[in-house]
């Protein structure tokens, strides 16, 4: 118990000293691992780990589950977000979740003000502090899509000197005006535009519309005797909003005299309390008003003249369906927290919720969801069972209001296809589909049949049903791919009967004879699929494929092969495989081949900027660094107009499109319309991001050249990159005072002194060449995870780390890592390549690694080339041969299998080690003895194996060095385990 308390104290101290609020907004792991705490506490990792788990059970510690498990104390979160006192979730999946919950509490707490139900006061420091944690509108659903323009306007109006611009929000009931105003308040606070203590005051003018006197008094205050019942002086909300923000909802209901006073106040900052003839009072407020009135209406004429910024918020029906889906998940997550129960929502219920006509916008959607959840909660038989929301139990007004719009239905189907059969929402407020049933093979047919029946019952036509079902197929096939299921031959043998596999192999050889050889991927997918079919036929369950005829027409060759395969399997297994199933098999044969082709293709990247060589130099840099020529540039002379840019872009887009769309990176401003024009002219899907910079091109290109990424992934990533370079824009803004951090690229290797130092030199040269003088390159020692994380944390305080390059991935979320092998294979300019590929030579070691699919020749050449640069005293070729013998022994004795990257890492590290030992430049390792005691086998094998090196180079491989070598082996083991699944 004593130890637990100590651990808690240490973790709390770590959180308080090393983490700050800003970290919440960064996309990096938050908190500390058991190892980190163990190092400081001086206890073993396993003890600390079990203590942290016990503390977690006692709700004193929160787990943040990302790639590893990180811990922070509940006390620390509560100190940052007082609104979450007693409500901190036990497990957090991502940091945003804490922010969202806090935001939720923040807005909930604002609803009960001290003035009345319809006015709210957010006046304590804690709320202000919360607001300071938000420096953007990112948490607002739609901020980067349907609300993008609105958010940009809001930011501009908040930053306008000296006190921002008064703003009118226009939109129907329930579109989110109040929430939007709250975000404006938070943004202004975070930018220091509202000083500490500045409040967010909400007042709904409609609530007092029938009593103008009371309304004026609430707003401007009164003095004693101002009217009957005014028995003492009272300050109004305007005074309370001094230094803060006043949000006037339904502002068109303000009586004429109120409007006059308000405008006078806005113009001069002066007002009088009602009945006060003596004293003119002065305040500084930011006004955000809101109205549901049409901006053209007479009621608003005066406001529009006097309020400089008008922001329109769209109706729910105008927002994209994927946003509506996000809203539904968000609102349901809130309900799950309220009812403290897990929610399970069926696909059909989601279908209806996405498609029904929701007259009162998000407010109405929220009310409907609350009602549905409340009903389901009450009717739940078993009090500990999750609350289920199913289509049958939705209110008739929802079922009857489902819109018939083929496009929307198709879109909905696409969204739902990314889920399993149900959506799961945890009582801690996280919406997740990862629990969704991924073992589709078993219930694939059932899902299809149910989906078809449902679509039919909704009066949807046959053609549309087929389209929806096709999307299900596509989704199903994607999940069946071996990468997704991590299938291996052994796995297949363990789940499918041998009898079936023999028959299946027979059918495959038949297909091969007919000219349809099956790729490994298709073989696995088809085996699982047909095995499920056989089971289904034997259990007498139907197989329905509405699509069979069109499949036969579209893919005649595959259909014939499928028929033969089905016949063979049917005969051998004594069953009759129906035509509908043949349609499925044919579709798989066709689709997988098509996918194969598609997999090679990449999303295009096109950069257009003003200036004679700006775009070209950014693109050249990124292409060179990644060793590709994929990104293209258009330099736009300053005198050229947008039409010129569009003409050029059309030409280039046609050349570079590979069928997966194009990401357009452009200057801010006039080029923003190019994407739309390009799509209209070429039919290519083009998504554009403004505010391009070299780092952004690098980031986007890195994502785009991975064939597995589609345009949406690359686009999202472009947005992330955009936020990385935000400071550049902020620096251009004279009113901005935010202190932008310097940018840095990290280079990594085990010691920070070998490969990392070398790559640093090369990168610095390249950056210089490209005149990017403001980017620092920092070599870090990444051999020890604990130390690396601590070092990263401190670096992140001082730098905006934009990427890492090297032999060890520091796993910084949303920051690209370029592995050393990637660099060696292609890039970093011809200079780097030349350095790394000299000296190819054959070796007898080759066979072993060639068996593992490595190109040993190339790898050896690269390593020797690299070592040539690193080593002064040791002959790289000589050390290489001895090292290979040692590594072979290590692999055999420790039963570890080095991957190509692991092998390169081990070779480079060990060669540098020999040089270090020769020059007496030793490196340290913390708590060497304890570490060795934990790894006795590795230690003794390494000691034995390194004899050969010691003899040849007359050095003594010391314990510190051995510990570093153990770290590499551990890293490889982890990799082996992950690969084995």
Contact footprint for ligand ATP (CB under 6 A) = 107, 140-142, 171, 173-179, 249, 292, 327, 330, 362-363, 366
CB of 688 to ligand ATP, least distance (A): 23
Nearer to ligand ATP, 292 or 672 (CB): 292
Minimum distance, C-beta of residue 524 to ligand ATP, in the bound complex (Å): 42
Please compute Rg for the chain using Cα positions.
Answer: 32
Between 176 and 441, name the residue whose CB sits nearer to ligand ATP. Answer: 176
Do the beta carbons of residue 672 and residue 688 sit within 8 Å? yes
Least distance from ligand ATP to the Cβ atom of residue 718, Å:
22
Task: Write down the least CB distance from residue 94 to ligand ATP, Å.
Answer: 17
Distance separating alpha carbons of residues 240 and 237, to the nearest angstrom: 5
**CB 317 within 8 Å of CB 403:** no
- Burial tier of 165 (Cβ tally within 10 Å: 0-12, 13-18, 19+): middle
CB 330 to ligand ATP: min, Å: 5
Work out the angle between the directed axes of helices 95-110 and 125-132 (0-180°, nearest 10).
140
CA 782, chain centre distance (Å)? 25
Instruction: Write down the least CB distance from residue 2 to ligand ATP, Å.
Output: 46
Q: Which residues contact 878 (CB under 8 A, 6 or more apart)?
A: 952
Q: Which is nearer to ligand ATP, 170 or 912 (CB)?
A: 170
Question: What CA–CA distance (Å, rounded) separates 668 from 926?
Answer: 50
Helix axes 34-41, 2-18, angle to 10 degrees: 110
Given a contact cutoff of 8 angstroms between Cβ atoms, the answer to whether 851 and 898 are in contact is no
Quick one: 178 or 609, whose CB is closer to ligand ATP?
178
Peptide bond into 340 cis (omega under 30): no
Backbone region of residue 693 per phi and psi (left: phi > 0; alpha: psi in -120 to 50; beta: other values): beta
Q: Report the residue number, 209 or 640, with the smaller CB distance to ligand ATP.
A: 209
DSSP 124-183: SHHHHHHHHT--SSTTSTTTTTTTHHHHHHHHHHHHSTTT---EEEE--TTSSHHHHHHH
Nearer to ligand ATP, 175 or 589 (CB): 175
Selection from 84, 94, 85, 74 nearest residue 24 by Cα: 94
**Cβ distance to ligand ATP smaller for residue 116 or 489:** 116
The DSSP call for residue 143 is: T
Q: Smaller CB distance to ligand ATP: residue 292 or 928?
A: 292
**Distance of closest approach, residue 676 Cβ to ligand ATP, in angstroms:** 24
State the first-to-last Cα distance of the chain, in angstroms, to the nearest integer: 37
Cα–Cα separations (whole angstroms), residue 569 to 517, 556, 611 = 17, 20, 66
Contact of 796 with 739, CB cutoff 8 Å = no
Which pair of tokens denotes residue 911? 């060669």
- Give the residue at shortest CB distance from ligand ATP: 176
Nearer to ligand ATP, 140 or 215 (CB): 140
Order of all β-strands in the sheet with 343-346 = 387-389, 343-346, 422-425, 431-432
- Separation CA 349–CA 423 (nearest Å): 10
Residue with tokens 């999750």: 386
Helix (H) or strand (E) holding 429, with range, is none
CB-nearer residue toward ligand ATP: 366 or 905? 366
Widest Cα–Cα separation across the chain: 104
User: How far apart, in whole angstroms, are the C-alpha atoms of residue 748 and residue 756?
Assistant: 5
C-beta separation of 548 from 585 below 8 A: no
Crossing angle of helices 95-110 and 177-190, in 10° steps, is 110
CB 103 within 8 A of CB 187: no
Q: Which is nearer to ligand ATP, 173 or 567 (CB)?
A: 173
For residue 813, what are the CA distances in angstroms to 26, 326, 430, 592, 720? 9, 22, 20, 32, 11
Beta carbon nearer to ligand ATP, 92 or 175:
175
If the CB atoms of residues 101 and 664 are measured against ligand ATP, the closer one turns out to be: 101
CB of 172 to ligand ATP, least distance (A): 7
Nearer to ligand ATP, 117 or 647 (CB): 117
- Record the tokens describing residue 75, joined without a space: 């006390």
To ligand ATP, the closest distance from the beta carbon of 170 in angstroms equals: 10
* CB neighbour list of residue 213: distance below 8 Å, 6 or more residues apart: 227, 274
Cβ-contact 843, 856 below 8 angstroms: yes
Distance CA 772, CA 662 (A): 26
Q: How far is the CB of 97 from ligand ATP (least distance, A)?
A: 14
Residue number, 174 or 810, with CB nearest to ligand ATP: 174
* Least gap, CB of 373 to ligand ATP (angstroms): 14
SS3 letters across 674-687: HHHHHHHHHCCCEE
**Nearest distance from C-beta of residue 333 to ligand ATP, angstroms:** 10
Q: How far is the CB of 829 from ligand ATP (least distance, A)?
A: 45
Output the smallest distance, CB 335 to ligand ATP, in A: 11
Minimum distance, C-beta of residue 429 to ligand ATP, in the bound complex (Å) = 13
- What span, in angstroms and rounded, lies between the C-alpha atoms of 571 and 576? 8
The nearer residue to ligand ATP, 330 or 504, going by C-beta atoms, is 330
Read off the tokens for 282: 């002065």
For residues 285 and 242, is the Cβ–Cβ distance under 8 A? yes
| E strand spans, 549-683 | 604-610, 632-636, 662-666
Residue whose CB is less far from ligand ATP, 171 or 221 = 171
CB of 188 to ligand ATP, least distance (A): 17
Q: Strand 604-610 to strand 632-636: parallel, antiparallel, or no bridges (unpaired)?
A: parallel
- Min separation Cβ 206 and ligand ATP, Å: 9
In the complex with ligand ATP, the residue whose CB is nearer, 299 or 846, is: 299
Q: How far is the CB of 354 from ligand ATP (least distance, A)?
A: 16
Determine the angle formed by the axes of helices 347-355 and 440-457, rounding to 10 degrees: 40
């Amino acid at each position: 118990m004593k130890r637990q308390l100590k651990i808690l104290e240490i973790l709390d101290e770590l959180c308080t000293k090393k983490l700050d609020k800003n970290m919440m907004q960064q996309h990096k792991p938050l908190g500390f691992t058991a190892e980190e705490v163990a190092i400081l506490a001086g206890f073993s990792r396993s003890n600390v780990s079990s203590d942290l788990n016990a503390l977690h059970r006692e709700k004193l510690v929160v787990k943040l589950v990302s790639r590893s498990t990180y811990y922070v104390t509940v006390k620390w979160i509560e100190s940052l977000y007082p609104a979450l006192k007693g409500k901190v979730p036990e497990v957090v999946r991502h940091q945003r979740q804490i922010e969202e919950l806090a935001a939720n509490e923040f807005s909930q707490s604002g609803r009960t003000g001290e003035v009345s139900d319809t006015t709210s006061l957010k006046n304590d420091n804690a709320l202000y502090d919360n607001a300071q944690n938000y420096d953007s509108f990112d948490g607002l659903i739609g901020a980067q899509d349907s609300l993008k323009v609105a958010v940009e306007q809001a930011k501009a109006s908040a930053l306008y000197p000296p006190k921002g611009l008064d703003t009118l929000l226009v939109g129907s009931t329930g579109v989110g005006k109040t929430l939007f105003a709250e975000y404006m308040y938070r943004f202004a606070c975070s930018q220091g535009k509202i000083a500490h203590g500045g409040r967010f005051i909400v007042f709904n003018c409609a609530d007092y519309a029938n009593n103008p006197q009371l309304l004026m008094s609430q707003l401007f205050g009164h003095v004693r005797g101002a009217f009957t019942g005014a028995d003492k002086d009272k300050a109004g909300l305007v005074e309370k909003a001094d230094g803060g923000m006043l949000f006037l909802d339904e502002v068109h209901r303000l009586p004429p005299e109120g409007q006059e006073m308000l405008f006078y106040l806005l113009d001069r900052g002066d007002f009088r309390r009602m009945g006060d003839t003596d004293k003119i009072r002065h305040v500084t407020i930011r006004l955000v008003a809101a109205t549901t009135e049409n901006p053209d209406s007479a009621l608003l004429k005066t406001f529009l003249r006097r309020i400089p910024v008008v922001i329109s918020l769209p109706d729910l029906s105008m927002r994209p369906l994927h946003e509506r889906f996000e809203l539904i998940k968000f609102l349901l997550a809130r309900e799950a927290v309220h009812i403290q129960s897990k929610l399970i929502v069926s696909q059909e219920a989601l279908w209806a919720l996405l498609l029904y006509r929701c007259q009162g916008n998000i407010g109405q959607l929220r009310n409907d969801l609350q009602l549905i959840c409340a009903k389901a909660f009450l009717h739940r038989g078993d009090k500990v069972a999750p609350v289920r929301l199913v289509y049958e139990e939705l209110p008739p007004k929802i079922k009857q209001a489902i819109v018939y719009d083929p496009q929307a239905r198709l879109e909905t189907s696409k969204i739902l296809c990314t889920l399993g059969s149900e959506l799961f929402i945890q009582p801690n407020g996280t919406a997740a589909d990862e629990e969704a049933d991924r073992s589709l093979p078993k219930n694939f047919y059932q899902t299809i049949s149910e989906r078809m029946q449902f679509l039919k019952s909704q009066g949807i036509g046959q053609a549309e049903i087929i389209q929806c079902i096709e999307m299900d197929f596509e989704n199903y096939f994607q999940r069946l791919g071996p990468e997704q299921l991590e299938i291996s031959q052994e796995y297949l043998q363990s789940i499918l009967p041998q009898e079936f596999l023999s028959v299946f192999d027979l059918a495959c050889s038949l297909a091969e004879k007919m000219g349809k050889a099956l790729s490994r991927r298709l073989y696995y997918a088809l085996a699982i699929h047909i095995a499920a079919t056989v089971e289904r036929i034997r259990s007498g369950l139907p197989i329905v494929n509405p699509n069979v005829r069109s499949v036969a027409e579209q893919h005649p060759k595959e259909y014939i092969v499928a028929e033969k395969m089905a016949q063979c399997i049917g005969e051998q297994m004594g069953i009759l495989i129906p035509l509908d199933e043949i349609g499925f098999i044919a579709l798989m044969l066709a689709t997988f081949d098509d996918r194969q082709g598609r997999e090679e293709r990449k999303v295009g990247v096109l950069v257009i900027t003003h200036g004679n060589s700006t775009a070209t130099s950014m693109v050249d840099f990124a292409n060179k660094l990644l060793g590709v020529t994929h990104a293209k540039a258009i330099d736009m002379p300053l005198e050229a107009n947008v039409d010129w840019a569009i003409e050029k872009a059309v030409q280039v887009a046609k050349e570079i499109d590979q069928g997966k769309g194009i990401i357009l990176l452009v200057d801010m401003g006039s080029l923003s319309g190019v994407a739309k024009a390009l799509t209209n002219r070429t039919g290519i899907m083009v998504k554009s991001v403004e505010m391009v910079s070299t780092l952004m091109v690098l980031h986007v290109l890195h994502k785009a050249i991975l064939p597995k990424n589609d345009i949406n992934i690359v686009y999202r990533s472009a947005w992330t990159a955009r936020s990385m370079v935000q400071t550049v824009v902020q620096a251009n803004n004279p009113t901005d005072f935010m202190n932008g951090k310097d940018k840095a690229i990290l280079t990594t290797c085990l010691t920070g002194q070998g490969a990392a130092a070398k790559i640093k030199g090369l990168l610095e040269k390249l950056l210089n060449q490209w005149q990017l003088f403001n980017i620092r390159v920092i070599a870090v020692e990444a051999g020890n995870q604990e130390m690396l994380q601590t070092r990263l944390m401190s670096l992140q305080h001082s730098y905006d780390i934009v990427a890492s390059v090297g032999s060890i991935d520091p796993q910084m979320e949303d920051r690209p890592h370029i592995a050393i092998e990637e660099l060696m294979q292609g890039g970093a300019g011809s200079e780097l390549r030349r350095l790394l590929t000299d000296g190819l030579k054959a070796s007898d070691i080759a066979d072993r690694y060639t068996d593992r699919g490595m190109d040993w020749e190339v790898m050896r050449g690269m390593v020797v080339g690299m070592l040539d640069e690193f080593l002064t005293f040791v002959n790289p070729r000589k050390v290489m041969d001895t090292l290979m013998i040692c590594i072979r022994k290590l692999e055999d004795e420790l039963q570890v299998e080095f991957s190509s990257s692991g092998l390169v890492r081990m070779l480079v590290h060990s060669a540098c080690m020999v040089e270090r030992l020769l020059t007496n430049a030793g490196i340290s390792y913390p708590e060497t003895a304890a570490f060795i005691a934990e790894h006795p086998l590795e230690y003794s094998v390494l000691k034995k194996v390194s004899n050969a090196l010691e003899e040849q180079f007359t050095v003594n491989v010391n314990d510190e060095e051995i510990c570093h070598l153990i770290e590499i082996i551990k890293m490889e083991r982890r990799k082996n385990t992950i690969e084995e699944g």
